């Protein structure tokens, strides 16, 4: 299964998440000899599907002592790095996708009749269109889908008519998203998978790429993973869970991973990682009354683990849906003194609510509104943190001060503004030797000019109308 350069198989299967994780860390340990004395020029990359898993693996790596030269990043973060190295801008935020869907959907009579009169009606369609685009659907598939729909029933069937309309909307939105470079992850994965072939060492410099935590992936994400395996020394660690009732035997849920494994294994195949014996898992049931009782009982079990010395970061609680439980968790666990984070939870106010609150404050405060509030209300761009830091370093703190900023005076003849932030390592030639330097972050001149122009536009609009009358209804929401 292995040679001097690592595993010869593309897919490494583990019976359970812990087995996969242990095998992953063992491979990182194998790849990292000499890190303390002489860091490698190229990083070992670990690619995961979520920020939650990323944070967990980073914590385990720190405890294991394997940190320098190991980079843990989500697939989205890796795709963004590929675009950055290729000199391409990141796609605009996914909220623009809903606008494109609304415009295209409004041109379809069947969808306009079904959704046009509903508040946020197009948001329901946006999820369907995003799923189609994530799966890789494009105009090339339109005829085949329409032919299949024609076989399912008469052309005037209302349900099939709406499906055909959804297909038309997906095609139109996909073309518009590609042309305008919007759409979030959909466009990001597509562009990264297009740019990477033949340019692996340039756009994805790495000593090895270890893919972990994926059981399935959408079409475009899977396309990108497949290109990564072709263009770099990479392996995929896949969890094949054991049957809880029959330890040692694979669970029937392993079928869920079949598409990913068949697509990524290629000619290199797959095999099981070596694993030691583990104590069989135990299942304990708790009967409670109501949601509050259930959450408090789970909280009591968590608290008992904490009192035994288990780190809070090592305790996980899984629920089918968090929305019905989130309020009860906040109340009961705070009473028990349990530190917790709800991954993917909406909280008392979600992102949309926070932007509305910031917008209300902007309308109320006008040109004197704080810089942070204005950015929260008007932009969800990936570089918002860099913009905020650059503007603060330029000495501005309000919308009006941003509007008055003279970019030419700030930068002179320079084309970018340097930030006192360094991320990642890069190799630079130093005579015949190569040395590692920390990469500096920058904000380009055109981006600063764009922000200043936006601030001037906002100031002009707010100066032309009484803000309080507009802000009051939004604050009520």
DSSP for 319-350, written as a single string: -S-STTTHHHHHHHHHHHT-----TT---SS-
Q: What is the pLDDT of residue 37?
A: 47
Q: What is the pLDDT of residue 306?
A: 92
Share of the chain above pLDDT 70, in %: 87
Q: End-to-end alpha-carbon separation of the chain, Å? A: 60
pLDDT score of 297 more than 90: yes
Which two tokens mark 143?
């005829």
pLDDT score of 475 more than 50: no
- Give the pLDDT band (50/70/90) at residue 172: very high
| Average pLDDT, integer, range 48-69 | 83
* Of 230, 227, 240, 233, residue with least CA distance to 270: 240
Count of Cβ atoms closer than 10 Å to residue 351 Cβ: 12
pLDDT score of 465 more than 70: no
Residue by residue, DSSP assigns 119-163 as TTHHHHHHHHHHHHHHTT--GGGHHHHHHHHHHHS-TT-HHHHHH
Q: What is the pLDDT of residue 344?
A: 67
* Of 419, 366, 365, 369, residue with least CA distance to 392: 419
- Give the pLDDT band (50/70/90) at residue 452: very high
Q: What is the pLDDT of residue 34?
A: 55
* Of 319, 365, 312, residue with least CA distance to 338: 312
Q: What is the pLDDT of residue 38?
A: 56
- Give the pLDDT band (50/70/90) at residue 228: very high
Share of the chain above pLDDT 90, in %: 20
- Give the pLDDT band (50/70/90) at residue 298: very high
What is the rounded average pLDDT for all residues in the chain?
83
The residues, any chain, with a CB within 8 Å of residue 174's CB and separated by 6 or more, are: 133, 137, 138, 139
pLDDT score of 4 more than 60: no
Count of Cβ atoms closer than 10 Å to residue 67 Cβ: 12
The residues, any chain, with a CB within 8 Å of residue 339's CB and separated by 6 or more, are: 312
Taking each helix axis from N to C end, the angle separating 75-85 and 185-195, rounded to the nearest 10 degrees, works out to 50
- pLDDT digit string, tens, across residues 272-292: 877 666 666 677 888 888 888
What angle is formed at CA 458 by the lines to CA 452 and CA 460, rounded to 5 degrees? 105
CA dihedral sign, ordered 343, 236, 186, 108 = negative
Asked if 46 and 71 touch (Cβ cutoff 8 Å), the reply is: yes
| Average pLDDT, integer, range 164-187 | 87
* Of 312, 311, 310, 303, residue with least CA distance to 336: 303
Count of Cβ atoms closer than 10 Å to residue 201 Cβ: 11
| Average pLDDT, integer, range 120-144 | 87
Counting DSSP H helices and E strands in the chain, the numbers are 21, 12
C-alpha to C-alpha distances, 428 to 42, 262, 390, 441, 443, nearest whole angstrom = 12, 40, 26, 16, 21
- HSE of 451, CA atoms in CB hemisphere, 13 A: 28
DSSP H stretches of helix in 181-257: 185-195, 200-203, 219-231
pTM for the whole structure: 0.66
Q: What is the pLDDT of residue 471?
A: 47
* Of 405, 471, 399, residue with least CA distance to 443: 405
What is the DSSP pairing of strand 433-444 with strand 44-48? unpaired
């Amino acid at each position: 299964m292995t040679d001097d350069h690592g595993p010869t198989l593309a897919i490494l299967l583990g019976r359970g998440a812990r087995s996969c994780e242990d095998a992953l860390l063992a491979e990182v340990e194998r790849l990292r000899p000499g890190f303390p004395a002489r860091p490698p020029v190229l990083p070992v990359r670990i690619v995961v599907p979520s920020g939650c898993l990323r944070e967990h693996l980073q914590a385990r790596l720190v405890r294991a002592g394997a940190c320098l030269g190991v980079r843990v990043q989500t697939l989205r973060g890796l795709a963004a790095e590929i675009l950055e190295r290729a000199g391409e801008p990141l796609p605009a935020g996914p909220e623009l996708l809903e606008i494109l869907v609304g415009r295209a959907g409004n041109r379809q009579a069947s969808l306009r009749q079904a959704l046009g009169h509903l508040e946020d009606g197009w948001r329901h369609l946006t999820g369907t269109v995003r799923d189609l685009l994530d799966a890789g659907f494009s105009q090339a598939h339109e005829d085949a889908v329409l032919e299949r729909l024609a076989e399912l029933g008469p052309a005037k069937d209302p349900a099939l008519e709406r499906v055909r309309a959804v297909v038309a909307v997906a095609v139109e939105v996909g073309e518009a998203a590609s042309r305008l470079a919007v759409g979030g992850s959909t466009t990001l994965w597509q562009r990264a998978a297009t740019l990477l072939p033949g340019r692996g060492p340039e756009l994805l410099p790495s000593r090895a790429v270890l893919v972990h935590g994926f059981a399935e992936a959408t079409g475009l994400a899977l396309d990108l993973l497949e290109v990564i395996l072709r263009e770099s020394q990479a392996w995929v660690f896949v969890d094949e869970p054991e049957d809880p009732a029959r330890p040692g035997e694979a669970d029937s849920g392993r079928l869920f991973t079949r598409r990913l494994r068949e697509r990524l294994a290629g000619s290199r195949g797959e095999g099981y990682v070596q694993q030691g014996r583990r104590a069989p898992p135990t299942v304990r049931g708790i009967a409670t009354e109501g949601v509050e009782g259930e959450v408090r009982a789970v909280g009591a079990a968590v608290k008992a683990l904490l009192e035994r010395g288990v780190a809070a970061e090592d305790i996980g609680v899984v629920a089918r849906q968090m929305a019905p439980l989130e309020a009860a968790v906040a109340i009961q666990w705070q009473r028990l003194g349990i530190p917790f984070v709800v991954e993917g939870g909406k909280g008392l106010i979600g992102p949309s609510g926070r932007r509305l609150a910031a917008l209300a404050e902007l309308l109320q405060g006008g040109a004197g509104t704080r810089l942070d509030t204005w950015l929260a209300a008007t932009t969800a761009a990936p570089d918002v943190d860099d913009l905020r830091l650059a503007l603060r370093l330029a000495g501005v703190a309000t919308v009006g001060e941003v509007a008055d900023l003279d970019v030419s005076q700030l930068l002179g003849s320079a084309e970018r503004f340097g930030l006192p932030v360094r991320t990642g390592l890069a190799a630079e030639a130093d005579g015949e030797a190569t040395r590692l330097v920390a990469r500096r972050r920058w904000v380009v001149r055109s981006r600063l000019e764009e922000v200043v122009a936006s601030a001037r536009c906002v100031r002009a609009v707010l100066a032309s109308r009484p803000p309080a009358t507009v802000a009051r209804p939004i604050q009520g929401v």
